[in-house]
């Protein structure tokens, strides 16, 4: 399995990330946190995770958009 750490923008705004994850959990778009071994058991194989990135909304200062970067290719988080 290959699990990336989050982008530095996400690390700078942990409360935004926590609120995003809680909102996704509340509306059943995310499942509860799992251990790597639990995910591998469920999938029957290894997996690759994607990192989270945050950008401030251009027309709404202080409001953020959380993105799951599905196209990130490098193994180093910048």
Domain ranges of the chain: 8-69
Q: How many whole angstroms separate alpha carbon 9 and alpha carbon 31? A: 23
**What are the backbone dihedrals phi and psi of residue 73, each rounded to the nearest 5 degrees, phi first?**
-110, -30
Check: pTM over 0.85? Answer yes or no: no
Query: Rounded to the nearest 5 degrees, what angle is found at the Cα of 20, between the Cα atoms of 17 and 23?
Result: 150
Contact 6, 52 (CB under 8 A): yes
Please state, in angstroms and rounded to a whole number, the distance separating the CA atoms of residues 19 and 68. Answer: 15
Give the pLDDT score at 3.
84
Q: What is the pLDDT of residue 13?
A: 95
Q: Supply the pLDDT for residue 31.
A: 87
Rounded to the nearest 5°, which phi and psi values hold at 22? -65, -40
Q: What is the pLDDT of residues 13-54, one digit of tens each?
A: 999 999 999 999 999 999 888 899 999 999 999 988 888 999
């Amino acid at each position: 399995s290959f699990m990336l750490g989050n982008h530095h923008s996400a690390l700078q705004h942990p409360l935004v990330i926590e609120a995003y994850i809680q909102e996704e959990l509340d509306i059943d778009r995310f499942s509860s946190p799992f251990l790597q071994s639990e995910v591998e058991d469920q999938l029957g194989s290894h997996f690759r995770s994607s990192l989270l990135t945050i950008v401030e909304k251009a027309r709404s200062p202080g409001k953020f958009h959380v993105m799951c970067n599905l196209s990130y290719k490098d193994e180093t988080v910048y």
